[in-house]
Structures are given as structure tokens and as C-alpha cells.
């Protein structure tokens, strides 16, 4: 299960995210980006963050450490923003924290070039979890101490918002044409050879085991939190089978940034 700490001070909201995450300090003297159960997307966003974050870590990708963050809404009484106050009031109890990476920068493909191997592993992982939120419009990648770090996995496994669709979602193609790392020439075959054998039932069950029971209770169609965990495990295990053959990288959409590097080749466009 997730290690738990208690939030002691609400520092500031991060208005880049649609769920209005905030920076908080905790009783372990750590600083975290906190995602709230009371946010509009609800607890399933936090479930996705835990399962996908843990899976990425176990596959050797960099994800900030995750903790359960206990919140007493009283810490928000001095917050002048009414929207933030309402969010804190609605999120008493257990929330999710991600280790804050001080000095990190948002990924910019004009300033940082990932190699084909790393790009391939990240694209393959995003295809596995169905991440629709790692495009050039919103990379959800940070550069910290010269390395790429993956953040914000709330928009993954969208089939868990409608469980009857999970069976068909496991074989759905993944179009990575707009993926922020597509210009780096991702080595998908190499990534599949390295990562697919590691996606076992045991590995996925361990990732799902880290989700707190209280975020899984009362899920329609399931009798217990463990039954929901098994459903996540089974869906991801099926999706991993032959995944590389269902990933495509073609031309980006027409509204891509005009200054993007040469698509797929990683080489600057002529005249740029």
C-alpha cells in the first residue's frame, strides 16, 4: 500500500492542471503535489495515478514517488481563493501526493531531445495504459537533473469509467502520431522486447494492491475492492499482448506547432 503522511500546510494551487492540484507540506518534512478526492474527476483519477505510476516505476521509468496524503480541511481556512477552499472542504481524509521536484522544467522538444530507446519505452507504456494526455499540446513530462520524469496519469485507462467497455478497450489501437516524443523516432520494437515480458499478472497485481480500499469501494458491478483490483490486472494483462502491433505513428495533426522538430526523424526541418 501507499505510505501515508499528513498534510500540515497548504502552500499554493497549481493552476496548470484541470483538477486544481496544490503544493502542500507534510509531517515527514516533504513537499508534495497533492491531488484531491474532491476534484471534479473524482477518485478514479487517483486510482489511475497510482496504478500507472507504480507500473511505470516497475518498468524502469521515472515517476515522482507517490504517497497517501491525509488532509484535515481546516488547513485551508486561511486560503483566500473560494474555489480552493471548497476543494479542500470536499477532500477531507485520504488524498494522493506526488513528490515535488524543485527546479524541474516542463519538457520542451525544442530544448531537450530524448533518445529513441527512452522515447520508445515511454510511448509503449502510454499505449499500454491508453494515455491520451502526453501530446505536444500537454506533454506531462518534466526534465529534472537532465532526466525525463513522467507525471499526470489521471487520463489513462479511460475504460474504467465504464467497465463494460474494458473488454473491447484491451485490443483498441493506439495512435501516437501526436505524442510529444513521436519526433524522437521511438524504438517501439525494442521497447516491446524489453518491457512486454515484464508485464506479468504478478506485477500488475502488485501495482493494483497499492490502491487504497476506500478509493475502490462501492464500484458498480463489483463485490469488493479486491474484485476491482483483479479487473484492472486482467484488463492490462490482456492489453499488453501484441500491443506493439497496435501502435501507429503517422503524420501529426494539422494544428501542430510550426516550430516542432522534423516529424519522426528528429532532424530539424529545412530552413529552421
What phi, psi does 127 have (nearest 5°)?
A: -65, -40
Q: Residues 96-122: pLDDT tens digits?
A: 999 999 999 999 988 888 999 999 999
| Tens of pLDDT, residues 171-184 | 999 999 999 999 99
Q: For residues 97 and 99, what is the distance between their CA atoms, to the nearest angstrom?
A: 7
The model's pLDDT over 211-240, given as tens digits with 9 standing for 90+, comes to: 999 999 999 999 999 999 999 999 999 999
What count of other Cβ atoms lies within 10 Å of the Cβ of residue 117?
14
Model's pTM, two decimal places?
0.91
Domain locations in the chain?
4-99, 105-248
Is 82 buried (19+), middle (13-18) or exposed (0-12) by CB count in 10 A? exposed
**In this predicted model, what pLDDT tens digit does every residue of 140-171 receive, in sequence order?**
999 999 999 999 999 999 999 999 999 999 99
Per-residue exposure over 167-177, b if at least 16 CB sit within 10 Å of its own CB, e if not: eebbeeebebe
Report residue 272's pLDDT band, with 50, 70 and 90 as the boundaries. very low
- What's the gap between Cα 220 and its chain centre? 24
Q: Confirm if 174 and 247 have CB atoms less than 8 A apart.
A: yes
Q: How far is CA 225 from CA 40, 124, 141, 165, 198, in A?
A: 22, 28, 31, 19, 25
Amino acid at each position: 500500500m501507499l505510505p501515508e503522511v499528513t498534510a500540515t500546510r497548504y502552500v499554493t494551487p497549481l493552476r496548470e492542471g484541470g483538477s486544481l492540484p496544490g503544493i502542500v507540506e507534510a509531517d515527514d518534512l516533504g513537499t508534495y503535489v497533492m491531488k484531491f478526492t474532491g476534484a471534479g474527476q473524482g477518485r478514479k483519477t487517483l486510482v489511475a495515478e497510482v496504478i500507472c505510476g507504480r507500473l511505470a516505476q516497475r518498468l524502469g521509468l521515472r515517476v515522482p514517488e507517490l504517497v497517501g496524503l491525509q488532509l484535515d480541511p481546516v488547513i485551508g481556512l486561511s486560503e483566500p481563493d473560494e474555489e480552493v477552499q471548497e476543494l479542500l472542504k470536499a477532500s477531507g481524509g485520504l488524498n494522493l501526493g506526488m513528490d515535488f521536484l524543485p527546479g524541474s522544467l516542463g519538457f520542451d522538444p525544442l530544448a531537450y531531445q530524448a533518445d529513441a530507446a527512452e522515447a520508445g519505452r515511454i510511448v509503449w507504456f502510454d499505449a499500454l495504459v491508453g494515455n491520451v494526455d502526453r501530446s505536444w499540446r500537454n506533454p506531462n513530462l518534466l526534465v529534472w537533473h537532465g532526466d525525463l520524469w513522467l507525471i499526470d496519469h489521471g487520463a489513462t485507462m479511460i475504460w474504467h469509467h465504464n467497465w463494460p467497455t474494458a473488454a473491447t478497450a484491451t485490443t483498441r489501437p493506439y495512435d501516437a502520431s501526436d505524442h510529444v516524443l513521436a519526433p524522437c523516432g521511438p524504438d517501439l520494437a525494442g521497447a516491446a522486447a524489453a518491457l512486454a515480458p515484464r508485464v506479468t499478472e504478478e506485477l500488475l497485481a502488485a501495482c493494483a494492491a497499492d490502491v487504497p480500499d476506500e478509493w475502490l469501494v462501492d464500484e458498480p458491478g463489483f463485490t469488493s475492492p479486491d474484485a476491482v483490483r483483479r479487473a484492472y490486472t486482467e484488463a492490462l494483462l490482456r492489453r499488453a499482448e501484441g500491443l506493439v502491433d497496435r501502435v501507429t505513428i503517422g503524420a501529426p495533426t494539422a494544428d501542430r506547432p510550426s516550430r516542432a522538430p522534423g516529424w519522426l526523424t528528429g532532424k530539424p526541418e529545412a530552413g529552421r
